[in-house]
Structure 1
Amino acid sequence: MNDSKNFVNHIRPRFVPEGALRVLYTFCLGGVSFLAFIVLGVTGLLLMFHYQPGDNAFSSILTISSVIPYGGVIRNLHYWAGQLMVVTVNLHMLRVVWTHSYKPPKQLNWLVGVGLLIFVLFLDFTGYLLIGSQESGAAATVAVNILGLIRLIGSGLAQILFGEPSVLSGSTLVVYVWHCVALPMVAFLLQLYHFWRVRRDGGVRPL
Structure 2
Amino acid sequence: MGKHEDSFAGHIRPRQIRAGALRLRATFCLGGFSFLAFIVLTITGMLLLFYYQPGDSAFASLSELDSALPYGGLIRSLHFWAGQLMVITVFLHMVRVVWSRAYRPIRELNWITGVVLFGLTVMLDYSGYLLRGGQESGAAATVGQALITSLPGGKALATVFFGQPTPLNGSTLSMFVWHVFILAGAAGFLQMFHFWRVRRGGGVRPL
RMSD: 2.2
Range 194-203 or range 93-102, more displaced: 194-203
Asked whether the 8 Å contact 1:165–1:172 carries over to 2, the reply is no
* Residue 191 in structure 1 maps to residue 191 in structure 2: yes
What code does the residue aligned with 2:185 have? M
- 1:181 maps to which residue? 181
Structure 1 or 2: more helix by fraction: 2
* Within-5 A mapping of 1:44-193: 44-151=45-152, 153-164=153-164, 169=169, 171-193=171-193
Counterpart of 1:187 in structure 2: which amino acid?
A
CA positional deviation for 1:65 = 2.1
* Structure-1 separation of matches of 2:64 and 2:166: 22
Q: Deviations over 1:149-202 (max 9, x none)?
A: 223x21111111111386664852111011001111111111111111112235
Give the TM-score, by structure 2 length: 0.83
Deviations 1:77-114 (A, max 9, x none): 11111111111111111111111111111111101100
Amino acid across the alignment from 1:78: H
TM-score (norm 1): 0.83
SS of residue paired to 2:101: coil
User: Which amino acid in the other structure matches residue 108 of structure 2?
Assistant: Q
Number of aligned residue pairs: give it. Answer: 189
Cα distance change of structure 1 residues 170 and 111 upon mapping to structure 2, 3 Å threshold: farther
How far apart, in 2, do the equivalents of 1:179 and 1:105 lie?
32
Find the aligned partners of 2:150 and 2:155 in 1 and give their Cα distance.
Answer: 8
Unaligned runs of 5+ in 1: 1-17
Q: Which has the larger radius of gyration?
A: 2
